[in-house]
A and B are shown apart, each in its own frame.
Chain A
Amino acid sequence: MPKVRKSAPTSDTPGRVRRGGGVMSSTGLYIATGVAAFLFLVPFYIIVRNALSTDAEITGENWKIFPTDIQWGNIGELFSDETVPFAQSLWNSAVVATLHTVGVLLVCSLAGYGLARIPYKHANKVFYAVLGTLMVPTAVTFVPSFVLVSSLGWVDTYRGLIIPGLFSGFTCFLFRQYFLGFPKELEEAARMDGLGYWGAYWRVVVPNSLNFFAAMATITFINGWNAFLWPLVIGQDPSSWTVQVALSSYMTNQTVVFHLIFMATAVSILPLVFVFLFLQRWLVQGIAQTGIKG
């Protein structure tokens, strides 16, 4: 993706005319970026450092950069701590985020494809009905949604945690934008060969769109894993807490056990950081091509 461009040859100051304009020398550029990068990494270091320290070392008068001896036992202590069902909450988050991702991709990609590609005279009206929901941020509807879900008896259930979040107008919109740009020739060839819309979609469009699906899957999974307001509202019993709700409960607890809090934070972040580092390229491309560019 990064294309290293040659600087404009017509310029009489070679190398100065670069995109974004250059008021900075190369050294200055790296110093500024380096300082910013350092600041961005500090919070990550704090989590790891505190997760592997004793409480005394976290709250001690003389803050050392490295803990004097590393407390690997904190991991075991976290999972055997009975005040917060942390292992259960991790499992809940894994289930919820995974099913959320599968469901959103399935439902929203189908709808996006229908809106983008299947000729139907009222398709525009349907599209505006979807677009209209983008203006009402999902978080604003949490009161009415809670009222609905609780009257369905879905409080404290996986159903309540997952199903209401599947119908994302925004994801549907992104899929539609993507499918509009998908080369039509491929589908037409498939349909000439006798495939219906369904066959063309599953056998031609989806297999050729795996990059985009992967990017959307990553983003959706991260959002599912990190969601807080809805799981907080729905998860009233600790056994149905997601990991974010469990983390939050540490902050409002009477007794603050610092090393457990930071270990829990580290454990909650680690899976996503790995996902991020491995899938970065896809993610960046995916975000860049979602059509947010406008």
Chain B
Amino acid sequence: MSTTTKLDLASSAPAKASSAKPRRGLRGSPTFAFWLFTGPFLIGLAIFVYAPILWSLWLSFFEARFTVTPDKFVGFDNYKYMLTNDDFVGSLGTFTVFAAFIVPTTWALSLGLALLVNRMRFMRAFFRSVFFLPTAVSYVAAALIWKMSIFSGVRFGLMNTVLGWFGVENIAWLIDPNPPWYWLVIVTARLWLQSGFYMILFIAALQNIPEELYEAAAIDGAKSGWQTFWYITLPQLRATSTAVILLLLIAAYQAFDEFFNLLSKTTWGRPPLVELYYKALGESQDYGAGSAGALILTVLICAVTLLQGKIMGFGRGDESK
């Protein structure tokens, strides 16, 4: 925190007598002003973020079906139930597979697009817009296009039409988990939707790399191309890459929209949030087990985030930029 104490001195000097009474505190006391500015946000945060988490913690120790004010204390039974529940544990596995696909591919694609767009001499803004535009589209809309047109399992699906030109039989992309073609559908939808956003971050970072580094490398005899990429560009992008990977991981944990809409009727390929949705808000309305699951997930996310922060040196958050 780099706030000055000078402001304290300045504030006491011009105490105009004409100012309205309720404003006096604002001019005088930084503490009062601080709470006035942050108060509304902090109260909301307490009610709508911290309180639900605490309530959830409380609920997770009760048998709470169809009620949020339960009276039957069950200790850790809900946790035991969730951790031995094949569907929930399986959903964590689904997430792991999904993250293993989506994080590296999005990182590579957005970096690749940034490198391409950044090297352009003309039409740069046009291409940047094209890649950025899908960011405006919702996951629901994308799921719809992917399911109803591109990866529709029947002959009029775009993908099957194109494959048909090469004599490939129709593929049931989403209906049949063997082989698991649905991963291709889900990963491509998300790649399309989010690569443009991360591309912008990479473009900003690329433009911050000092030109001198490349010049110095050229003098030292580094060949342009892969050599400068490996030894200059990539290391210079380290901070951005770290942030991007962290954001991608968190976004992957939150995956819900496209799984829900693409695979709604199936029991396979459910990430944790979809599983929790059905558990807590489905027919059983089991808030106790649902809360236990949400808390297990929260602990997992915190652990992964902190671990990644340790490994890659991100998350201190206090470096003022």
Taking the nearest CB of chain A, how far is it from the CB of B277, in angstroms?
A: 8
B226 near A61 (CB under 8 angstroms)?
Answer: no
Q: Report if A20-B273 is in contact (Cβ < 8 Å); known contacts: A37-B130, A198-B33, A247-B140.
A: no
Q: Are B302 and A136 in contact (CB under 8 A)?
A: yes
Q: A residues within 8 A CB of B85?
A: none
Stretch at the interface among B86-94, B96-104, B175-183, B204-212: B204-212
- Taking CB atoms and an 8 Å cut-off, the chain A residues in 248-268 that contact chain B are 248, 250-252, 256, 258, 261-262, 265, 268
B191 to chain A, nearest CB (A): 10
Instruction: Closest A residue to B52 by CB, please name it.
Output: A144
**B77 interfacial by beta-carbon distance below 8 Å:** no
Known: A19-B233, A21-B225, A180-B321. A167 touches B41 (CB 8 A): yes
- Report the contact-size class of chain B (Cβ under 8 Å from the partner): 35 or more
Contact across chains for B37 and A20 when beta carbons are under 8 A apart: no
A111 CA to B217 CA in the complex, in Å?
Answer: 45
A228 at the B interface (CB under 8 A): yes
Q: Which residues of B contact A117 (CB under 8 A)?
A: 3, 7
Interface bits A109-129 vs B (CB < 8 Å: 1, else 0) = 011011111111001101101
Bound complex: CA of A26 vs CA of B134, how far in Å?
26
A46 touching B7 by the CB < 8 A rule?
no
Complex partner residue of A5 from B201, B208, B211, CB under 8 angstroms: B211
A294→B242 contact, CB < 8 A: yes
Cβ B145 vs Cβ A265 within 8 A: yes
**Contacts A119-B5, A135-B305, A137-B250 hold; do A2 and B125 have CB atoms under 8 A apart?**
yes
B48 and A167 contact, CB distance less than 8 A: yes
Partner pick for B148 among A17, A120, A261, CB 8 A cutoff:
A261
- Enumerate chain B interface residues (CB-CB to A < 8 A): 1-8, 10-11, 14, 16, 23, 26-27, 30-31, 33-38, 40-42, 44-45, 47-53, 55-56, 59, 68, 113-121, 124-125, 127-150, 154-156, 158, 161, 192, 196-197, 200-201, 203-209, 211, 214-215, 217-219, 224-229, 232-233, 239-240, 242-243, 247, 250, 253-254, 256-257, 260-261, 264-265, 273, 276-277, 280-281, 287, 290-291, 293-294, 297-298, 301-302, 305-306, 314, 317, 320-321
- What are 25 A-B contacts defined by CB distance under 8 Å? A2-B124, A8-B214, A17-B217, A19-B118, A19-B233, A40-B134, A42-B158, A44-B133, A46-B158, A119-B5, A120-B30, A123-B3, A143-B280, A144-B53, A144-B55, A144-B59, A144-B294, A148-B51, A148-B52, A196-B11, A196-B27, A261-B144, A265-B145, A287-B200, A294-B242
